[in-house]
Amino acid sequence: MMQKNRDGALELSIGTIVVIVIGMSMLVLGLVLVRTIFKGSTESVDVLNEGVLNEITTLFDDTQGNILIKLGSTNTARVKPGTESFKIAVGAQHPGGEQITRDTLNYGIELSQEGGDNCIKVLGQRKTEDLFRTPLNTKTNEFGKVQGSTAGALIEISVPEGTAVCTQKVNVDLYADGAATSNDGDFFILEIVKKGIF
């Protein structure tokens, strides 16, 4: 009789182990699937940014300015903390409509001091500047794509994990033919939002 109970206990233990192993395998496969999906979506965003960069220079027929940033009706880029690389497409055209080279047009990025709860006040000047991989406070940033009289660039932003929620207006100015003053300008709003589950 004692032998029978031991066999039953052993069968129960093996069944439990098999269920645990299958459960862990499913969990690992699920995590790999989620990671693959998110990695693919990040690569899709990079492809999308390149597509936006290619298309944004064709919009100058419909606009009056020489520099263009398209981020919807509010011109706002919403970025979650932990985002390694977020890119904003900027398009420009020569004010005179002339053919250009990489040296003909440059752009500069500058943080605006406007706003009561802007990132400069929440994070401090240095930490806010560190969010930008594209150099700030210079007039010599080159456009990466040049075609005819139009050019395009990607402004790269990196928001580390744990960055506080804040909003920052960012001015983008166009400099043509080595001019010391801006030929035209536009802006976008960088909004750092709360990090959710996804």
| pLDDT at position 107 | 92
| pLDDT at position 42 | 47
Cα–Cα dist 133/136, whole Å: 9
Instruction: State which CATH number among 3.30.750.210, 3.30.465.10, 3.30.70.1050, 2.60.40.10 fits the domain covering 47-192.
Output: 2.60.40.10
| Joined tokens for residue 175 | 């400099």
The least confident of 30-39, 131-140, 167-176 is 30-39
With CA atoms as reference, report the closest residue to 191 among 85, 89, 117. 117
| pLDDT at position 45 | 47
Q: How confident is the model at residue 146 (pLDDT cuts 50, 70, 90)?
A: confident
Quick: pLDDT tens for 113-132. Answer: 887 778 999 999 999 999 99
Whether residue 94 contacts residue 174, with contact meaning beta carbons closer than 8 Å, is answered with no
Pairing of strands 76-79, 184-192: parallel
> Does the pLDDT value for residue 90 go beyond 90?
no
CA distance to 157, 168, 197, per residue, from 38 (Å): 19, 27, 13
Quick: pLDDT tens for 21-77. Answer: 888 888 888 888 777 766 654 444 454 455 655 666 566 655 567 888 877 778 888
